[in-house]
A and B are shown apart, each in its own frame.
Chain A
Amino acid sequence: MLQFMLLFSRQGKLRLQKWYVAHPDKQKKKITRELLAILLARKPKMCSFLEWKDLKIVYKRYASLYFCCAIDQNDNELLTLEIIHRYVELLDKYFGSVCELDIIFNFEKAYFILDELLLGGEIQETSKKNVLKAIAAQDLLQEDDAVEIALKELGLV
C-alpha cells in the first residue's frame, strides 16, 4: 500500500501531503525534510525509484512540482508512477492545464480529488471519467449551497 504522498516544489516548498499511515507530526516533518533533500539532489535522468529505509520511493517531476509516493517493498513501482500520472491528469482536467498555483489556492480540491482516486493507501477508482463524475457531483452540491447563501444575502430566502 501507499504509505504517503508528498507534493513539493523545486524550491522545496511542500504543497500537499497525504499520510495513509499515522505518524506524529514531528515524525512527518522529519520524513518530509529528509526526502525533500534526497530527491531535490537527484539529477533529471535518474531512475524514478529508490530504496529508503524499508520503503520504496517512487517520484516524478511535472514542471515545477515533484510528486513523491512511498510504497511497501512488494508494491509495484511502475503502476505507482502511473497513479501519480493519473492524479496529474485528473488535476489537469479539473483545473484546465493545472499549475502549481491551482494547487496552492485550491488545496482542498486537490485533497478531494485524491480521496476519490486513492483511499486508505490503495487505488479506488482508475477510471478518469468516474473520478471526474464524482467530483462534478460534489461541485454541484457545493454550488447549490453557494446559491442558497447568495439568495440569503439578498434577502430572497
Chain B
Amino acid sequence: MPAVRGDGMRGLAVFISDIRNCKSKEAEIKRINKELANIRSKFRGDKTLDGYQKKKYVCKLLFIFLLGHDIDFGHMEAVNLLSSNKYSEKQIGYLFISVLISANNELMKLIIQSIKNDLSSRNPIHVNLALQCIANIGSREMAETFGSEIPKLLVSGDTIDVVKQSAALCLLRLLRTLSDIIPSGEWTSRIVHLLNDQHMGVVTSAVNLIDALVKKNPDEYKGCISLAVSRLSRIVTASYTDLQDYTYYFVPAPWLSMKLLRLLQNYPPPEDPGVRGRLIECLETILNKAQEPPKSKKVQHSNAKNAVLFEAISLIIHMDSEPNLLVRACNQLGQFLQHRETNLRYLALESMCLLATSEFSHEAVKKHQETVVTALKTERDVSVRQRAVDLLYAMCDKTNAEEIVGEMLNYLETADYSIREEMVMKVAILAEKYASDYTWYVDVILNLIRIAGDYVSEEVWYRVIQIVINREDVQGYAAKTVFESLQAPACHENMVKVAGYILGEFGNLIAGDQRSSPFVQFNLLHSKYHLCAAQTRALLLTTYVKFVNLFPEIRVDIQNILKSNSNVRNSEVELQQRSMEYLQLSQIASSDVLATVLEEMPPFPERESSILAILKKKKPGMSEGVTGPLKENKHPAAVINNTGVSYTKNSENAPSLAVSADLLGISSSLHQPTINSAPPASSNNTSTNLLVDVFGETTSPTAGGAKSAIGDGIIVKNEESLKKFICKHNGILFENDLLQIGIKSEYRQNLCQMGLFYGNKTNFQFLSFTPSISSPNNLSTKLNIQVKPVDTVVEAGAQVHQILNVECIEDFTDLPLLTIQFIYCNVQQKLTLRLPLTINKFSEPTVMNSESFFTRWKNLNNPTQEAQKIFKATYPMDSEAVKAKLIGFGIQLLTGIDPNPENYVCAGIIHTRTLQVGCLIRLEPNTQAQMYRLTIRSSKDTVSKELCKLLHELF
C-alpha cells in the first residue's frame, strides 16, 4: 500500500486492498456485500459512531459507488459530517454529496443549511469547501438561495484571492442553472473590473464568468472589451519570466490569453480605433511568435503556444475584417497541414474550414487543395481524414468542383465505412450546387451509386430524379446513361431504382437506337426484377405501365408480366394491387386515357435539397463554416421554375401534392400507385383518398402527442401578430431575445404548405430543439397537419426551416398550437404559440356579377346562415386600407354591385375536403358614427360565424 498523507484511513486502505485482491467479479461482489452489511449495521447500531468512523464508512461507500455499484443509504450520515468541526470530516461529507447526491434530493434543505454556515465561516478554506460544493451540484434551489450572496463575496475587498476564484466560477455555475440571477447594475462594472485584478488566478476565473455574462447581455458588459484588450496586450508582450508561475512551459498565461481571445469573439471588431489598433497588434504579435524558434522541445510548449495561436486565428476569422491577418493565418495553418504532430494537422484542417468561408481568405485556402487531398489519401487516423473531407467540402467552389468531386469519388472507393454515407451526401450536394453541365451531375450521382450504392440514401437518388425531371436538356443523356449502367454485370439496387424511374419517363428518348429499343430496355430492366426488394419491384411495375403508354408495341409483353402468377398472387399486397390495377388499366383504357393517365411527370415544385438537412442532422456539431458556403444558395440552380404546370383539374392536383409529401410517392405505405391521375379501378375520388392516406398516416402521431403537449405549456400571447396574419401569408410570428419565428405559407384550395423558420438569435447552440404541433379540442379531425421533423441542434445565429403540410377537412375555429422546446445554455425553454391558420386561408376569391350575387344572397336566407356584427372602427376608416385587408383576407372584392358605392361587397369559396362553402360578404361603413356593419352569409352557419369573428377584428 502506498504511503498516505494527511490523515490516512487505515480501514479504507485495507478494504481497497481486499477488493484489489479479489480473483473474480463474484468474489468482489461478495466482499462488497459483506462490507455494505457491516456499514449498514454500524449506521443502524445503538452505539453512536464518532466522526472519524462515520467519515471512514462514508468514504468506503463512496469507493463502492465509484466501482459502479448502487448506494442507497449513508446519505444522512454524509450530511451529518458537513456540520462536523473537523475539517477532514467535513471535506469527506462534501465529497460524498458532490458525487452522489442529485439536485432534487430530500436532504437538500439540510445541505443548504450547512453550506450557509460554512460560507459565513472565517476560515477561507471552509468557505471554499462550501463554494466548491455549490459549484459541483449547482441546483436550482442553491441558485435561489445563494444567487445574491455570491456576487457580494466576489467583489468584496475583504475576500481573499482563492475565495474570489471559487466564487467567480461558483456564480457561473449558478448562472447556468438559473439565468435570472444575473447580477446587473452596480455589479456590472465591479465584475468587469476583475479583468484588471492583480492576481492572475482571479482574472483567469473571472474571465469565464464574464464571458457567460456577456453572452446574456452584451451591451451591458461592453466595457470589458477595452479591458480585455489591454490585459491581452500586457500578456503577449510579457517575457516568460514576468508572469512567474502563470507561465506554462515558456508561454505566458496561455489559458488566460485563450479566454480573453474567446471573450472578444462575442463582439464585432472594437469600434474605438485605439483599442482596435492595439488588438490587431496583439494578433500580429501572436502570429509573429509562431514563426520564432521554439523555446523548448517539449510538446507542452508547442501545445500551449499553438492553442493561443489557434484562438487568435478564430478571432481573426470572427472579425473577418483584416484581409492581411486572414491571409497570414491561412499561411500559418498551411504550415501546420504538413506538421509531424497529428493533433496540429487535425486542428489546422478544422480551422481552415472556417477560413474557407471568408471571402478574403477563400482563395488562399484553395492553394492548399493538393495538400488536403494528400491528407485525405494518406492520413492514418480516420478522424483526421474526416476533417480533410470537411475542408474539401468547404473550399469547393465553381472553379475546383470537378476536381474536388473527382478526388472525393476516388477516395470513396476505399473510404472508411464510418464516413461513407456522409461523403456520399457531400459529393451529391457539391455536384448539384456547382454543376454547370448537368450531364456531369448525372454522371457523378450514378458513379456514387456504382461505388457506394449501399451508402446512397433515398434523399440522394430522389434528388437526381427530381433534377432530371425538371431539366429537359439532361433527360436524354440520363436515359442513355442509366441504360448503360444497367448493362454492367453487377448493378446496385439503387441503380435499378433510378434507371427504372428514368426509363419509365424518358425511355422513349433513346428508343430510336436499335441497341436500346423498347423491348431491349424492358428486358434489361426485367432481368433485374426478381433480384430486387418489393419496394423496387413496385417501382418497376410503374415503369412497365408507363412503357405501355410509351411503347404500345410491347404492351402484350408487359401484360404477360403483369398477369403472371408471381405478381398477381404475390404475397406483397402492394405488388398484387399494382399488377392488378395496371393490368386493368392497360386492357380497358383507350390510348387517349392512357396517355393522360400515364403522362410524363410534371416538374417538381422548387424546393431545397433535403440532402443538406440530413447531412446537418447527421453532424449536429458541424461548424458554421462548413454549411456556410451552401447557405448563400438556398435554391440550387437545378430546380427549374414550375410555372409551366397548371393545376386545373382537381384530380391532378391531389396526386402532385401527394408526391411532394412523399418525394416520389413510392413508399410502400402508399396503397395507391402514384401516377398522374387516378387509376380507373377506383372512382374519381381516389385522388382524395390518396391524399388522405398520405396525410392520415403521419397526422395520427401528432394528434396523439397533442394531448400531452397541451396543458403544461405556457401559451404565449401572440394575438397581435395573429391578427396581422389573418390577411397575410408571410411574416414574423414571434420574436424574443433568443428566438425568432417566421412564417411563409402557400395555400391552394384546401391545402396549405407552411414553412416555419426558426432563427437562433443567440451566440449559443440550441440543443434538443423540438417544435411540435398540437391540435386543441377536436381540431385534429378538421385539420390534417403533417410535420417534417427538424434538426435537434440549432447553431448559434442559424436558421432552421420546417415544413408543415396542412389539409383542411372541414371548417374549424380553433387554432393549432406550436410548442417549441429547446435547451439554451443548459436551461430548458418552452413556449407555445398559436399558429395563424384560420379558415379564411382556404378561401378562393370568386368573381360574379350583380345579378348572381343577389340571387345567391337571397337563396341563403336561413337565419342561421347569416352572421352579423355591428361594431366600432378600431382603425382609421380609410377605404384603400379596408380594400387591401379584404383582398388579403382571401375574398374577391366585387365592385358595382351594391347601390351604395361606399359599401364593400365580396365573395369567396372556402375549400375543405368535405365541402366547398360559398361565402358572401357585405361591409357597410358609417363614417359619421365611426361604425361598421358586417354581414356574412354562407351555406354553413359555423363558417359564417367564424368569418365574421375573424373579419370584424380587422377594421
Which A residues contact B (CB, under 8 angstroms)? 1, 14, 16-17, 21-22, 25, 29, 43, 45-51, 53-56, 73-74, 76-79, 81-82, 85-86, 94-95, 99, 101-102, 104-109, 111-112, 115, 119-130, 134, 137-139, 141-146, 148-149
30 pairs across A/B with beta carbons < 8 Å?
Answer: A29-B68, A47-B345, A51-B619, A51-B621, A56-B621, A76-B311, A78-B303, A78-B306, A78-B347, A82-B300, A82-B303, A85-B300, A101-B2, A108-B59, A108-B62, A111-B95, A115-B132, A119-B165, A120-B138, A120-B170, A125-B162, A125-B165, A125-B205, A126-B246, A127-B244, A130-B201, A141-B87, A141-B88, A148-B86, A149-B52
Q: For the complex, is B166 an interface residue (Cβ under 8 Å from A)? A: yes
One digit per residue, 1 when the CB lies within 8 angstroms of any chain A CB and 0 when it does not, for chain B 293-329 equals: 0000000100110110011000000000000000000
Q: Are B172 and A73 in contact, with the CB atoms below 8 A?
A: no
The 8 Å CB contact of B135, one of A104, A120, A134, is A120
| Closest A residue, CB atoms, query B345 | A47
**What 9 pairs between A and B have smallest CB-CB spacing?**
A78-B307, A146-B7, A120-B173, A141-B87, A142-B6, A127-B245, A119-B169, A142-B88, A122-B208
Looking at the assembled complex, report how far the CB atom of A138 sits from the nearest CB atom of chain B, in whole angstroms.
6
A73 and B765 contact, Cβ closer than 8 Å, known pairs A54-B620, A141-B125: yes
Q: For the complex, is B346 an interface residue (Cβ under 8 Å from A)? A: yes
Looking at the assembled complex, report how far the CB atom of A69 sits from the nearest CB atom of chain B, in whole angstroms.
14
Looking at the assembled complex, report how far the CB atom of B375 sits from the nearest CB atom of chain A, in whole angstroms.
12
Looking at the assembled complex, report how far the CB atom of A30 sits from the nearest CB atom of chain B, in whole angstroms.
12
Q: Which of B232-240, B380-388, B485-493, B833-841 contacts A (4 or more CB under 8 A)?
A: B380-388
Q: Are A125 and B304 in contact, with the CB atoms below 8 A?
A: no
Looking at the assembled complex, report how far the CB atom of A103 sits from the nearest CB atom of chain B, in whole angstroms.
10
Q: For the complex, is B573 an interface residue (Cβ under 8 Å from A)? A: no
Looking at the assembled complex, report how far the CB atom of A52 sits from the nearest CB atom of chain B, in whole angstroms.
9
Bound together, the chains give a CA A79 to CA B7 distance in angstroms of: 34
Q: Are B621 and A54 in contact, with the CB atoms below 8 A?
A: yes
Which of A43, A82, A101 has the most chain B CB atoms closer than 10 A to its own CB? A82
Q: For the complex, is B762 an interface residue (Cβ under 8 Å from A)? A: no
Q: Are B132 and A46 in contact, with the CB atoms below 8 A?
A: no
A81 and B342 contact, Cβ closer than 8 Å, known pairs A49-B383, A107-B66: no
Q: Are A127 and B200 in contact, with the CB atoms below 8 A?
A: yes
For residue B620, which residues in chain A have a CB less than 8 angstroms away from its CB? Answer: 53-54
Bound together, the chains give a CA A144 to CA B464 distance in angstroms of: 77
For residue A123, which residues in chain B have a CB less than 8 angstroms away from its CB? Answer: 204-205, 208, 255
Bound together, the chains give a CA A124 to CA B200 distance in angstroms of: 10
Bound together, the chains give a CA A126 to CA B165 distance in angstroms of: 11
Looking at the assembled complex, report how far the CB atom of A113 sits from the nearest CB atom of chain B, in whole angstroms.
12
Looking at the assembled complex, report how far the CB atom of B122 sits from the nearest CB atom of chain A, in whole angstroms.
14
Bound together, the chains give a CA A105 to CA B320 distance in angstroms of: 52
Q: Are B767 and A108 in contact, with the CB atoms below 8 A?
A: no
A138 and B87 contact, Cβ closer than 8 Å, known pairs A82-B307, A120-B135, A149-B52: yes
Bound together, the chains give a CA A1 to CA B172 distance in angstroms of: 11
Q: Which chain B residues (618-638) contact chain A, with CB distance < 8 Å?
A: 619-621, 623
Q: Are A130 and B342 in contact, with the CB atoms below 8 A?
A: no
The 8 Å CB contact of A46, one of B200, B248, B311, B383, is B383
For residue A119, which residues in chain B have a CB less than 8 angstroms away from its CB? Answer: 131-132, 135, 165-166, 169-170, 173, 205
For residue B310, which residues in chain A have a CB less than 8 angstroms away from its CB? Answer: 76, 78
Q: Are A127 and B95 in contact, with the CB atoms below 8 A?
A: no
A138 and B383 contact, Cβ closer than 8 Å, known pairs A112-B91, A115-B132: no
A125 and B59 contact, Cβ closer than 8 Å, known pairs A138-B87, A142-B7, A149-B52: no
For residue A101, which residues in chain B have a CB less than 8 angstroms away from its CB? Answer: 2
A104 and B20 contact, Cβ closer than 8 Å, known pairs A22-B102, A122-B208: yes
For residue A47, which residues in chain B have a CB less than 8 angstroms away from its CB? Answer: 342-343, 345-346, 381, 383-384
Add 20 more A-B contacts to A51-B386, A122-B169 (CB < 8 A).
A14-B66, A14-B68, A43-B381, A47-B342, A49-B343, A55-B621, A56-B621, A78-B306, A81-B303, A102-B2, A108-B92, A112-B95, A119-B165, A124-B201, A126-B253, A127-B246, A134-B125, A138-B87, A139-B6, A145-B89
Looking at the assembled complex, report how far the CB atom of A74 sits from the nearest CB atom of chain B, in whole angstroms.
8
Q: For the complex, is B533 an interface residue (Cβ under 8 Å from A)? A: no
| Closest B residue, CB atoms, query A129 | B245
The 8 Å CB contact of B767, one of A29, A54, A137, is A54
Q: Are A137 and B95 in contact, with the CB atoms below 8 A?
A: no
Bound together, the chains give a CA A120 to CA B86 distance in angstroms of: 26
Looking at the assembled complex, report how far the CB atom of B388 sits from the nearest CB atom of chain A, in whole angstroms.
12
Q: For the complex, is B793 an interface residue (Cβ under 8 Å from A)? A: yes
Q: Are A146 and B103 in contact, with the CB atoms below 8 A?
A: no
Q: For the complex, is B254 an interface residue (Cβ under 8 Å from A)? A: yes
Main secondary structure of the interface of B (DSSP, over half): helix
For residue A121, which residues in chain B have a CB less than 8 angstroms away from its CB? Answer: 173
Q: For the complex, is B509 an interface residue (Cβ under 8 Å from A)? A: no
A106 and B346 contact, Cβ closer than 8 Å, known pairs A126-B204, A138-B91: no
Bound together, the chains give a CA A118 to CA B768 distance in angstroms of: 27
Q: Are B16 and A124 in contact, with the CB atoms below 8 A?
A: no
Bound together, the chains give a CA A47 to CA B66 distance in angstroms of: 29
For residue B13, which residues in chain A have a CB less than 8 angstroms away from its CB? Answer: 105
Which of B7, B131, B254, B793 has the most chain A CB atoms closer than 10 A to its own CB? B7
Q: For the complex, is B415 an interface residue (Cβ under 8 Å from A)? A: no
Q: For the complex, is B37 an interface residue (Cβ under 8 Å from A)? A: no
Bound together, the chains give a CA A99 to CA B3 distance in angstroms of: 12
For residue B131, which residues in chain A have a CB less than 8 angstroms away from its CB? Answer: 119
Looking at the assembled complex, report how far the CB atom of B63 sits from the nearest CB atom of chain A, in whole angstroms.
7
Q: Are B245 and A105 in contact, with the CB atoms below 8 A?
A: no
Q: Which chain B residues (1-16) contact chain A, with CB distance < 8 Å?
A: 1-2, 4-7, 13, 16
Q: Are B204 and A124 in contact, with the CB atoms below 8 A?
A: yes
Q: For the complex, is B280 an interface residue (Cβ under 8 Å from A)? A: no
Bound together, the chains give a CA A43 to CA B331 distance in angstroms of: 30
Q: For the complex, is B826 an interface residue (Cβ under 8 Å from A)? A: yes
For residue A142, which residues in chain B have a CB less than 8 angstroms away from its CB? Answer: 6-7, 87-88, 91
For residue A82, which residues in chain B have a CB less than 8 angstroms away from its CB? Answer: 248, 254, 300, 303-304, 307
Q: Which chain B residues (88-117) contact chain A, with CB distance < 8 Å?
A: 88-89, 91-92, 95, 99, 102-103
Bound together, the chains give a CA A51 to CA B380 distance in angstroms of: 16
For residue A128, which residues in chain B have a CB less than 8 angstroms away from its CB? Answer: 245
Looking at the assembled complex, report how far the CB atom of A45 sits from the nearest CB atom of chain B, in whole angstroms.
7
Bound together, the chains give a CA A141 to CA B204 distance in angstroms of: 27
One digit per residue, 1 when the CB lies within 8 angstroms of any chain A CB and 0 when it does not, for chain B 328-351 equals: 000000000000001101110000
A134 and B88 contact, Cβ closer than 8 Å, known pairs A46-B383, A73-B623, A108-B59: no
Looking at the assembled complex, report how far the CB atom of B627 sits from the nearest CB atom of chain A, in whole angstroms.
14
Looking at the assembled complex, report how far the CB atom of A148 sits from the nearest CB atom of chain B, in whole angstroms.
8
Q: Are A73 and B621 in contact, with the CB atoms below 8 A?
A: yes
For residue B304, which residues in chain A have a CB less than 8 angstroms away from its CB? Answer: 78-79, 82
Q: For the complex, is B593 an interface residue (Cβ under 8 Å from A)? A: no
Looking at the assembled complex, report how far the CB atom of B66 sits from the nearest CB atom of chain A, in whole angstroms.
7
For residue A127, which residues in chain B have a CB less than 8 angstroms away from its CB? Answer: 200-201, 244-246
The 8 Å CB contact of A108, one of B95, B128, B623, is B95
| Closest A residue, CB atoms, query B249 | A82
Bound together, the chains give a CA A82 to CA B255 distance in angstroms of: 9
Bound together, the chains give a CA A29 to CA B70 distance in angstroms of: 12
Q: Are A124 and B95 in contact, with the CB atoms below 8 A?
A: no
Q: Which chain B residues (399-444) contact chain A, with CB distance < 8 Å?
A: none
Q: For the complex, is B258 an interface residue (Cβ under 8 Å from A)? A: yes
Which of B132, B253, B383, B765 has the most chain A CB atoms closer than 10 A to its own CB? B383
Which of B62, B258, B380, B621 has the most chain A CB atoms closer than 10 A to its own CB? B621
Bound together, the chains give a CA A16 to CA B66 distance in angstroms of: 7
For residue A141, which residues in chain B have a CB less than 8 angstroms away from its CB? Answer: 87-88, 125
Bound together, the chains give a CA A25 to CA B68 distance in angstroms of: 10
For residue B381, which residues in chain A have a CB less than 8 angstroms away from its CB? Answer: 43, 45-47
Which of A25, A126, A137 has the most chain B CB atoms closer than 10 A to its own CB? A126
Q: Are A146 and B88 in contact, with the CB atoms below 8 A?
A: yes
Looking at the assembled complex, report how far the CB atom of A56 sits from the nearest CB atom of chain B, in whole angstroms.
8
Q: Are B87 and A50 in contact, with the CB atoms below 8 A?
A: no
For residue B307, which residues in chain A have a CB less than 8 angstroms away from its CB? Answer: 76-79, 82
